Amino acid sequence: MNVNLTEEEIAFRDEVRTFFAEKYPADIRDKQDKGIRLSRDDTIRWQKILCEQGWFAVNWPEEHGGTGWTSIQKHIFANEMAAVNAPAIVPFGVSMVGPVIYTFGSEEQKQRFLPDILASNVWWCQGYSEPGSGSDLASLKTKADLDGDHYFVNGTKTWTTLAHVADWIFCLVRTTSDVARRQEGISFLLIDMGTPGVSVKPIITIEGDREVNEVHFENVRVPVENLVGDEGKGWSYGKVLLQHERTNTARRPGHSIDSNA
C-alpha cells in the first residue's frame, strides 16, 4: 500500500517509532527475535505498556478507551509494530468480546468488564466451536437452562485457544431449542472459568504445543446478569464479533503462550 503521508501523519509515525524504540522491553524483543515462546506474563506486560500509552484498544470508540485514530494512523501503527516484530495482541478480550460488550451489553457489564479488558487484568477465550459443530456453528448443542436468577450450562466447547490460561470465556449457548431456525434460540453468555463444573482438557498439537483445548461444562451455574443483550440474539452478536475480528489491525497470535513460564 503506497501512502503519501501528510506532515501530521509523518509526525505521528515518528512518535510511534520513538515509542517502540523507548518502551519496547529489550527482553521481550530478544525472545521475539529468537522465536522463543513468550510467557503469559511477557504478553500481559507488553499489553499493559500499550494500554498506559493509550494505544491498546486501537479500534474501540474513544468514550470506551479507544484511540480515535484515522485509518491511516492505524495503518502506520500496524506497520511500525510489524517492523520491530512486536508481540501480537491477544485478540479475545480487546478485539472480540470487548466490542460485543460495549455495543450490546448493559451499563453494569461495561463498567464491570471493559476496564479489566483494557488493562489486560482479565484474559478471555472464545467458546464457539463444539465437537460436531465447527463450520456448522448453528448446530451447537451446549445448553443454558434458566432456573431463577441463574443459567445452568452443560456441554463442550473445542479448539478453544488459550483456555488453559484464561480467566473468562464468552460462549454461544442454546437457551431455546423449539425454534424455526437453528440460528434462533442462541444466546451470548459470559462465564467465569473458575466456576465449579468448568474443566479444561488440553489438545496437544502435532508440534507438541498446548494452545487449544476442550472446555467442558457440567451444571455450571452462571448468573443471569452475565447474559449479554437479549436472550436468543447471540447469533447476531456473534456475527458482529467476527466483523471486529476481521477488521482488527493488530496481528493475530502466531505463537503459543507458555503458561509454565
Q: Read out DSSP for 178-192?
A: --SSTTTTEEEEEEE
Q: Indicate which residue of 130, 207, 218, 245 is catalytic.
A: 245
Residues comprising the chain, all counted: 261
- Phi and psi angles of residue 169, each rounded to the nearest 5 degrees, phi first: -130, 135
245 is catalytic: yes
Cβ atoms of 30 and 42 within 8 Å: the answer is no
Cβ atoms of 172 and 128 within 8 Å: the answer is yes
C-alpha cell at 72: 491511516
Q: How many angstroms separate the Cα of 39 from the Cα of each of 2, 184, 221?
A: 36, 40, 31
Residue that is written with C-alpha cell 468480546 in the block: 97
Catalytic residues: 245
